Amino acid sequence: MIVLDQENKLITLHTRSTTYQMKADQHNVLIHTYYGPRADGDFSYLVRYADRACAPNPDEAGLDRTYSLDTLPQEYSSCGVGDFRLPSMELELPSGSSSASLRCTGFEVREGKYALEGLPSFRGTEEDAQTLVVFLEDAAAQVGVELYYGVFERYDLITRSVRVVNRGGERVRLRQCASLCLDFLSADLDLITFDGCHMMERCPSRTPLRPGTQGVGSVRGTSSHQHNPFVVLCGREANEDYGVCYGAMLLYSGSFQALAECSQYDNTRLVMGINPYQFCWTLGPGEAFTAPEAAMVCSPRGLGQMSRQFHRAIRERLIQDPLQGQRRPVLINNWEATYFKFDADKLVEIAETAAPLGIEMFVMDDGWFGGRNDDNEGLGDWWLNTEKLPGGLEALVPRLKKLGMRFGIWIEPEMVNENSRLYREHPDWALKIPERAPARCRNQLVLDFSRPEVCRYVYGQIKAVLSSAEVSYVKWDMNRSLTDVCSAVLPPERQGEVYHRYVLGVYEMLEWLRRDFPHILIEGCAGGGGRFDGGMLYYTPQIWCSDNTDAIDRLRIQYGTSFCYPVSAMGAHVSVVPNEENQRITPMETRGAVAMSGTFGYEMDLSKASQEDKEVIRRQTAFFKEHYDLIQHGDYYRLTDPFRNGPYTAWEQVSPDGREALATLVAGCTRAAPPFLALRLKGLDPDAMYQVNGGEERWSGSALMEAGYPLPMLLGDYRTLQLYLKAD
């Protein structure tokens, strides 16, 4: 709900549990007054004024030395005109100077949720969302800035975006344009970021704010394995169930920046948006630029509630699932089974073993196209290799369909090998700096997706393949970061636009894919979890969580991912042991329990599996299908922290009414004389009586949450236990 007080120029955004407020002050500077648990009133009384040394005063303040932009909490911070903290926007003016000084000129409320042309965003209707637009202006630069806010009351979600318009007659260059600026009057906060590397993504890192600037970002052209475009600010005492927590995610799949600054007067500012590194966007007269969307959730009741609010909003208002209301199929992928060495008969052999075990879709991974027999050739030549696949997909897919299996396929549209027909015919289509030999990664280059003709050509090839047979699933991969970022068609003064135009090109091709094949489920991938962000989730309902499929490492990866992203978005498979990355051996039961807290599938040659393992797989697929809605759409509770190396890691999914739950536990290494342990559950109805795994004994919800469920001794390393609870 949006409440406007026109007389006092006060704007209040209410969600079910929170309040967000801003106000245009006496000089029409848009100040931020409050964000926190729901409350009523004008909170501008919290903004204090004092004569601070070396704090410049704007011209409008006259002789009032207590009024300074450097000390005010602002809704969208300025640059070069007296505020020395983190800027939200930087303009390069025709004079060559760089600054931005914004004043509020008005605001309006619209029913429904705004949309962003060419960019992903949360979707809302007139029944469940409202839009606020605040109009700012830099009069000297003749630049207008429109701040967009989407308010989803049910989800405690507020989205933000920014549109910058050149209203003057001369060219203006935009060197920074953040999507979100959030000022706090306090600095008594912790910053949580989600960091790591390839094979170990999104590990939480929690540190108290200190004087100065700290944060994360990416200059890789992707959101990256190293840092995720989601951060949390929370009270020092906040935990899973207690304390005020603020989560902020950027719906963007390119280079980003999220910085928090603790100022000299113990205020905090969070700024989030496109990374200014090599970013410079030219605005001619009348032209506009739109920043990606950011989304915020404030939870008055701890990190767990914050996560569950993000999960619901992402599932219901961001992801566009072609199988909405249906169960996604359990799949098997041939990559770790065959790598590049396969033919149609080998694929069918794997499928023949998989189908009787309850697996419903076969995904053909890398190696099916052009002259692709290793990772040094063929990328860019998207036509069927008929030596491996005689008769093409038209021959293969019906063979799989006879087994009751759907068909999926792997693609990597953004990349090219120099040993390919595409590159030989169009070498200028790859990103390259004219004066330098390009850097290679996986012996491949990056196609210039900032160029529409490149996107159209590649998409045309892929479209022909997908149209040749009944394809149900596409895995869209991307296996390197961007280097040598220079486009052959843009003039020198516009090369700072290439990074962002590249992302827009990726989004546009994904839109084409969704438009032409609305029935296809798309899974995103970037060397595993290197582009796991809200921007990709808008187009790809699930993303491969990590190339690391080891169940024990996945406990940490999926734990960190869960702080923002729902289980239904996490691509997770069971693979063979010893695991190829770390040589760890874990039981098949454990690998399955961990993978089914994701989208669930297998990545192995099941024709080589033991009969015992096949029986386990049969039980796992049946269990997953039976409890699919609970696992994929239930409220998610983190019961332990796997980074603390306790005796076990546990998590829980609970139905919205609290009448049904599934708790999963994975033990660590066995020790002699283990203690007796009890697992305390969450989210249950305290007054209900629960049956556990169909047993005759009953426990009250309050007993299970306060005292816990008595755990059996799990002998042997990395054993698992799943507890299905149902209320009478």
- Tell me the per-residue pLDDT of 213-235, one tens digit each, with 9 for 90 and over: 999 999 999 999 999 999 999 99
Q: State the residue range of the domain holding 276.
A: 2-317
**Both 447 and 534 in a single domain?**
yes
317, 351, 385 — which closes off a domain? 317
pLDDT at position 291 is: 98
* Residue 164 covered by a domain: yes
Active site residue 83: no
Convert the pLDDT of each residue in 171-188 to its tens digit.
Answer: 999 999 999 999 999 889
Residue 607 pLDDT: 86
Specify the pLDDT at position 714: 87
Burial degree of 242 (CB within 10 A; 0-12, 13-18, 19+)? middle
Q: Are residues 391 and 498 in the same domain?
A: yes
Annotated catalytic residue: which of 448, 533, 547, 635? 547
* Same-domain status, 76 and 162: yes
pLDDT at 509: 98
- According to DSSP, the residues that pair with 666 across neighbouring strands are 649, 720
Looking at the structure, do residues 408 and 557 belong to the same domain, yes or no? yes
State how far the Cα of 310 lies from the Cα of 300, in Å rounded to an integer.
14
State whether 149 and 266 are in the same domain: yes
Q: Is there a domain that residue 702 lies in?
A: yes
Shared-domain flag, residues 615 and 687: no
Q: Is residue 346 part of a domain?
A: yes
> Could you tell me which residues are beta bridge partners of residue 447?
430
Q: Do the domain assignments include residue 323?
A: no
| Beta strands per DSSP E along 276-396 | 281-283, 288-290, 294-299, 331-333, 361-364
Number of domains within the chain: 3
Q: Does residue 407 fall inside a structural domain?
A: yes
What CATH number does residue 489 fall under?
3.20.20.70
Identify whether residues 514 and 397 lie together within a single domain.
yes
Residue 61 phi, psi (nearest 5): -75, -15
Annotated catalytic residue, options 70, 366, 477, 635: 477
Q: Is the domain of 447 the same as that of 369?
A: yes
User: Would 324 be classed as within a structural domain?
Assistant: no
pLDDT at 593: 98
Angstrom distance (rounded) from CA 321 to CA 539: 9
Active-site residue flag, 547: yes
Residues 144 and 253 occupy one common structural domain? yes
> How far apart are the C-alpha atoms of 18 and 16, rounded to whole Å?
6
Q: Which of 633, 660, 679 is the last residue of a domain?
A: 633
C-alpha dihedral, 77 to 83 to 87 to 92, nearest 10°: 100
Q: Which residues of 174-193 are buried (b: 16+ CB within 10 A; e: fewer)?
A: bbbbbbbbbbbbebebbbbb
- In this prediction the pTM is 0.97
pLDDT score at 672: 86
Backbone angles phi, psi at 648, to 5 degrees: -160, 165
User: Are 24 and 43 found together in one domain?
Assistant: yes
Is residue 322 domain-resident? Answer: no
Q: What is the CATH number of the domain that holds 674?
A: 2.60.40.1180
CATH label of the domain that carries residue 16: 2.70.98.60
Domain boundary among 317, 340, 375: 317
CA angle 273, 284, 81 (to 5 degrees): 55
H/E stretch holding 158 reads strand 157-166
Summary count for the chain: helices (H), strands (E): 13, 40
Residues 486 and 578 occupy one common structural domain: yes
With a CB cutoff of 8 Å and minimum separation 6, the contacts of 204 are 192, 193, 194, 559, 560, 563, 643
499 shares a domain with 526 = yes
Low-confidence ranges of the chain (pLDDT < 50): none
Q: Is 325 among the domain residues? A: no
